[in-house]
Chains A and B, each alone.
Chain A
Amino acid sequence: MFEVENKIRQEAKRVLENGLVELVIGWAPGSVPFRTTPVFIDRPEDVDKLVWNPVCANNLAVYLPKIAKDRKVGIVAKPCDIRSIVALIQENQVKRDNIYIIGLGCAGVVDPSRLELAGVRLSDVTALDWAADGIKVITLNGEQLLKSTDVHRDMCLACTKREPALFDVKFGEAVLPSEVKPRELPELPEERQKYWSEQFSKCIRCYACRQICPNCYCEVCFADRVEPKWTAKKAVPEENWMFHATRAMHLAGRCIQCGECERVCPVGIRIAELMREMAEAVKNKYDYEAGDPNEEAPLLGTFRENDVDPAQHS
């Protein structure tokens, strides 16, 4: 970990010093050892703020459309973050030439809320690191080794794309999960409707999911429009349905499965599960995966002769 972290710092320093970029976006230590925070570094002497550890959760691509519009920006990015960058390039939100990608091989990110469940006293934690077959938690009382399946984020437990697909420089090794966690959604349509009704009824309409999502870059979101008022602002079940269903449709074929929406949801709605469901449907029907640099255009802007007609294959 420290080796990769050092390489990131050296590379950030190099590209800042030689003027390749004006700014490097990365992660810095958070207020507590089991969290990190986004950091924007524009002076070579500040690069030591950069860290790389199992709690570097934020998908930093969310900042690119605004920040990299008129300047060159370096970004430290996990494979899923890189898929976001690819999608943003394909949708004309950033120019490839404007970004310098410090890509990282990934071994999965930890959900801090699961540490406690795994028997860790959060107040004792001083650092986290990847170990050969799990996560090493360094506490005041020594080291604790935890199983990946117990502490990784759900999205990471289902992720097999742990190699950066697009980068200018790459550090670190990818470690694939020993098994892929299956989806847990009910099978029957009416049960699913009930499941999602319960999920959405919790929504307080804070829009954190939208704000954190790199793909939600519209200047005026449909949910904020007054004329026409597609959905009312009040957090009632039918309006929540309207918001989440429409957002899901707007991300159909575009979501790259970083899971940020679910991570930031204050009431624990399984939004990423919904996104994963959609992505699998897209993959099965159209053999398309969002964020793949080999695809030239977004799914809905692409027509292939052998595309299925969803009306006939639903």
Chain B
Amino acid sequence: MRIGVFVCWCGSNIAKTVDVEKVVEAAREMPGVVYATDYKYMCSEPGQNIIQDAIKEHKLDRIVVASCSPRLHEPTFQRCVEAAGLNPYMVEMANIREQCSWVHDRTPEATQHAIDLVRMAVAKVAKNEPLTRSRLGITRKALVIGGGVAGIQAALDIADAGYPVVLVERTPSIGGHMAQYDKTFPTLDCAACILTPKMVDCASHPLIEIWSYSEVEEVNGFVGNFEVKVRRRAKSVDESKCTGCGLCLEKCPVKDIPSEFDEGTGTRRAIYRPFPQSVPNKPVIDRDHCRYFQTGKCGVCQKICPVGAIDYEQQDQVVTEKFGAIVVATGFDVWRDERAMAQFGYGKYPDVISSLQFERLMNASGPTDGKIVRPSDGKTPRSIAFISCVGSRDEEHGYPYCSKVCCMYNAKQALLAKDKLHDVQTYVFYMDIRANGKGYEEFVRRTIEEYGANYIRGRVSRVYPDGDQLVVKGADTLLGRPLEVRVDLVVLATAMKPHDDAKELARKLGISTDQYDWFSEAHPKLRPVEVLTDGIYLAGACQYPKDIPDTVAQASGAASKVVGLFSKEAILSEAMTAYVNEDTCVGCGLCVEVCPFGAIELVEVVDREKSTRDNQVMKKVARVNEGVCKGCGTCAAACRSGSARLRGFDTKQILAEIDALADAALAGRQ
């Protein structure tokens, strides 16, 4: 055994706290070590050359690099030694930066600590065994969950690169929130004008299948080889026959269902499509409200349909399909907690509405054909107050985070209101204006300076009615005085929040969420599109509030990750995976329960052949799917019988580390 130890200064990160030369000296005395040296940046090209040259010159067969966290540079040094002819798993990292120099002052203890860490790594590497990664195939077909602008963009980009995509959307139409908007900041492009062509592109793309009115039920498998169960809910309309003529939509007798798409500002029928430009453009029957499904009597749509497309007998279908990658683009919900918004009278006074409802009132395809009117009496408002940060930046009632887009849509809505109603007076109550995007600050200035919006810095304490008007009571903190404004309409910039069932989807996908249930990215800066589960990518506001340009950019980023994955010949599996000693496994199944990746299952094996009875004695044992295993070691920690083991972290390796440390301590820290 010939171990080489390479101690890194990390510039001054390590060297200013730890006496690197002393660590090298101590390493030379450790069992099995034949060579030790130090260098300023071991990860740099000259540093890696030092390692590779030493491997050749001193015939090293095991390497310890004492530097930073293995999370940062383990792959770097694995590649380095592999290039010099060693198995990449013959490298151990001693983390003398995060776990040593950064937490100590320059003291002898710091150096001693570094020596101990190196001693443990040397003891461990002596027990390392070469590991190999196997090659796994890839199903080159992507699943995109969520048909908003993020999902649409991701699906188009992946399909344009030549790979088939299934776009799953929960509602009857793709389009998402963007389809609800009137115009978009800061360019005031009509949202529908820029979105609907993309929706049509999706529908007509030969490589994209849109599964609307569908939800993901179960996700199994691993990168390149996911197996996904999708429930395709019964639309009660035979899509192969329906021409989308819309006759049924006019004749359905159930007329008064609040339209989800219009945020309750308008109504829809029991057979409906969310909006005229829906994709697919064929209606569905909402069975919870349909008179036929509720009472068994009606059938008007079936009688009137000229092509006989109405099918009341249709059943949900659960489809299982294989995918190589998954893009999660499920977007956001808006905060609707009426109780928490009681101070603003939301849900109590009809003329207090949410920004998304106001968006529908402004929209030419909305319930009022784009006329801004008060929900209470249909009159044109002469004054409107926009209140920002409703539920955002408000730990007490809502969420502590900033919803990021409200400042901008407040400005947009104030501008558009003025544009449509020339003599309206607009007030915007704000905490501070966050307008950091291309053209954003200029846009807000334009709303204030050219469109006469009255921006008032201060929080609103209460909204209450007075006659047929509303009084907005708050404070102007710039002038330092209380303030009351009488207006005809109040618009609340409600917070963006994760869907209520975001956590459930996260669980199905095996990905993590943050404290609010937004999906967590793999690294906040360097891996913002990936999650910790390989082959699953995030796009859009399901991760955190985002505006449309950021959403589209991330969607294209996610798509490029998928395309990058699909363009590989094969996937290399993890080498440091768990395995089970089936002889000692008692099949208690605890490892199955604790595995965060669903990589372990119980299988029945022959325990022994029996001569007295003409049957075999079977037993259940745990078995690891090494393609799914990420080598976290939870199973090995949970296993009482010591049957679950982790390659690269075998008990004998861990004990060697502990023994090395204990021996040093017992010997009085030589």
Q: Is the CB of B617 within 8 A of A70?
A: yes
Per the bound structure, the CA–CA distance linking A53 and B543 in Å amounts to 64
Out of A70, A91, A219, A225, name the residue touching B590 (CB < 8 Å).
Answer: A91
Chain A, interface residues (CB within 8 Å), range: 20 to 34
CB of B593 closer than 8 Å to a CB of A: yes
CB of A297 closer than 8 Å to a CB of B: yes
CB of B618 closer than 8 Å to a CB of A: yes
Q: Is the CB of B651 within 8 A of A92?
A: no
Per the bound structure, the CA–CA distance linking A262 and B139 in Å amounts to 57
CB of A298 closer than 8 Å to a CB of B: yes
Q: Is the CB of B593 within 8 A of A301?
A: yes
CB of B655 closer than 8 Å to a CB of A: yes
* Consensus secondary structure, chain A interface: loop
Per the bound structure, the CA–CA distance linking A250 and B590 in Å amounts to 12
Per the bound structure, the CA–CA distance linking A70 and B620 in Å amounts to 12
Q: Is the CB of B586 within 8 A of A218?
A: yes
Measured CB to CB, the nearest residue on chain B to A88 is B588
Q: Is the CB of A219 within 8 A of B584?
A: yes
Q: Is the CB of B593 within 8 A of A297?
A: yes
Interface digits, A245-264 against B, CB 8 Å rule (1 contact, 0 not)? Answer: 00000100000000000000
Measured CB to CB, the nearest residue on chain A to B503 is A305
Tell me which residues across on chain B come within 8 A of A297, comparing CB atoms.
593
Tell me which residues across on chain A come within 8 A of B641, comparing CB atoms.
218-222
CB of A228 closer than 8 Å to a CB of B: yes
Interface digits, B573-587 against A, CB 8 Å rule (1 contact, 0 not)? Answer: 000000000011011
Q: Is the CB of B590 within 8 A of A228?
A: no
With A228-B651, A297-B593 as known contacts, state yes or no: A92 contacts B642, CB within 8 Å: no
CB of B436 closer than 8 Å to a CB of A: no
Q: Is the CB of B642 within 8 A of A222?
A: yes
Shortest A43–chain B CB gap in Å is 18
Tell me which residues across on chain A come within 8 A of B589, comparing CB atoms.
91-92, 301
Interface digits, A69-92 against B, CB 8 Å rule (1 contact, 0 not)? Answer: 110000000000000000000011
Out of B590, B592, B594, B619, name the residue touching A69 (CB < 8 Å).
Answer: B619
Measured CB to CB, the nearest residue on chain A to B615 is A70
Measured CB to CB, the nearest residue on chain A to B595 is A301
Q: Is the CB of A218 within 8 A of B620?
A: no
Out of A70, A217, A222, name the residue touching B586 (CB < 8 Å).
Answer: A217
Tell me which residues across on chain A come within 8 A of B583, comparing CB atoms.
219
Q: Is the CB of B588 within 8 A of A93?
A: yes
Shortest B58–chain A CB gap in Å is 31
Interface digits, A214-256 against B, CB 8 Å rule (1 contact, 0 not)? Answer: 0001111110010110000000000000000000001000000
Please report the number of residue pairs spanning A and B whose Cβ atoms sit closer than 8 angstroms: 56
CB of B602 closer than 8 Å to a CB of A: yes
CB of A302 closer than 8 Å to a CB of B: yes
Tell me which residues across on chain B come within 8 A of A69, comparing CB atoms.
617-619
Per the bound structure, the CA–CA distance linking A297 and B588 in Å amounts to 11
Tell me which residues across on chain A come within 8 A of B594, comparing CB atoms.
300-301
Q: Is the CB of A227 within 8 A of B586?
A: no
Tell me which residues across on chain B come within 8 A of A93, comparing CB atoms.
586-588
Interface digits, B451-478 against A, CB 8 Å rule (1 contact, 0 not)? Answer: 0000000000000000000000000000
* Consensus secondary structure, chain B interface: mixed
Measured CB to CB, the nearest residue on chain A to B590 is A301
Measured CB to CB, the nearest residue on chain B to A225 is B642
Per the bound structure, the CA–CA distance linking A217 and B586 in Å amounts to 8
Shortest B621–chain A CB gap in Å is 10
CB of B56 closer than 8 Å to a CB of A: no
Q: Is the CB of B652 within 8 A of A218?
A: no
CB of B640 closer than 8 Å to a CB of A: yes
Shortest B437–chain A CB gap in Å is 36
Q: Is the CB of A298 within 8 A of B586?
A: no
Q: Is the CB of A298 within 8 A of B590?
A: yes
Measured CB to CB, the nearest residue on chain B to A298 is B590
Q: Is the CB of A91 within 8 A of B652?
A: no
CB of B416 closer than 8 Å to a CB of A: no
Per the bound structure, the CA–CA distance linking A219 and B582 in Å amounts to 11
Shortest B507–chain A CB gap in Å is 10
Shortest B443–chain A CB gap in Å is 42
Out of B592, B618, B640, name the residue touching A218 (CB < 8 Å).
Answer: B640
Out of B586, B588, B652, name the residue touching A228 (CB < 8 Å).
Answer: B652
Q: Is the CB of B584 within 8 A of A227?
A: no
Per the bound structure, the CA–CA distance linking A264 and B620 in Å amounts to 30
Measured CB to CB, the nearest residue on chain B to A71 is B613
Q: Is the CB of B590 within 8 A of A227?
A: no
Q: Is the CB of A220 within 8 A of B593?
A: no
With A92-B602, A301-B589 as known contacts, state yes or no: A220 contacts B584, CB within 8 Å: yes
Tell me which residues across on chain A come within 8 A of B587, comparing CB atoms.
92-93
With A225-B642, A228-B651 as known contacts, state yes or no: A219 contacts B593, CB within 8 Å: no
Per the bound structure, the CA–CA distance linking A84 and B620 in Å amounts to 19
Shortest A310–chain B CB gap in Å is 15
Tell me which residues across on chain B come within 8 A of A219, comparing CB atoms.
583-584, 586, 641
Q: Is the CB of B590 within 8 A of A300?
A: yes
Per the bound structure, the CA–CA distance linking A221 and B590 in Å amounts to 16
Per the bound structure, the CA–CA distance linking A301 and B583 in Å amounts to 22
CB of B638 closer than 8 Å to a CB of A: yes
Out of B584, B613, B620, name the residue touching A92 (CB < 8 Å).
Answer: B620
Measured CB to CB, the nearest residue on chain B to A91 is B588
Tell me which residues across on chain B come within 8 A of A250, comparing CB atoms.
640
Shortest A226–chain B CB gap in Å is 12
Measured CB to CB, the nearest residue on chain A to B622 is A92
Q: Is the CB of B618 within 8 A of A70?
A: yes
Interface digits, B279-318 against A, CB 8 Å rule (1 contact, 0 not)? Answer: 0000000000000000000000000000000000000000
Shortest B502–chain A CB gap in Å is 14
Per the bound structure, the CA–CA distance linking A93 and B641 in Å amounts to 14
Measured CB to CB, the nearest residue on chain B to A246 is B640
Tell me which residues across on chain A come within 8 A of B618, comparing CB atoms.
69-70
Shortest B267–chain A CB gap in Å is 37
Q: Is the CB of A92 within 8 A of B588?
A: yes
Per the bound structure, the CA–CA distance linking A92 and B585 in Å amounts to 12
Per the bound structure, the CA–CA distance linking A250 and B638 in Å amounts to 9
Per the bound structure, the CA–CA distance linking A217 and B620 in Å amounts to 13
Per the bound structure, the CA–CA distance linking A225 and B619 in Å amounts to 21
Shortest A241–chain B CB gap in Å is 16
Shortest A282–chain B CB gap in Å is 15
Shortest B318–chain A CB gap in Å is 24
Per the bound structure, the CA–CA distance linking A250 and B640 in Å amounts to 6
Per the bound structure, the CA–CA distance linking A92 and B642 in Å amounts to 17
Shortest A94–chain B CB gap in Å is 11
Interface digits, B606-627 against A, CB 8 Å rule (1 contact, 0 not)? Answer: 0000000101011110000000
Shortest B619–chain A CB gap in Å is 7
Per the bound structure, the CA–CA distance linking A250 and B655 in Å amounts to 19
Per the bound structure, the CA–CA distance linking A218 and B583 in Å amounts to 11
Shortest A219–chain B CB gap in Å is 5
Question: 5 A-B residue contacts at CB 8 Å?
Answer: A92-B587, A217-B588, A220-B584, A250-B640, A302-B593
Q: Which residues of A contact B (CB under 8 A)?
A: 69-70, 91-93, 217-222, 225, 227-228, 250, 297-298, 300-302
Q: A221-B641, A301-B594 are in contact. List 13 more A-B contacts (CB 8 A).
A: A69-B618, A70-B617, A91-B588, A91-B589, A92-B589, A93-B588, A219-B641, A225-B642, A227-B652, A250-B640, A300-B590, A301-B589, A301-B593
Please list the 8 inter-chain residue pairs (A to B) with the smallest Cβ-Cβ separation, ordered nearest first: A301-B593, A218-B641, A91-B588, A220-B584, A250-B640, A92-B589, A301-B590, A228-B651
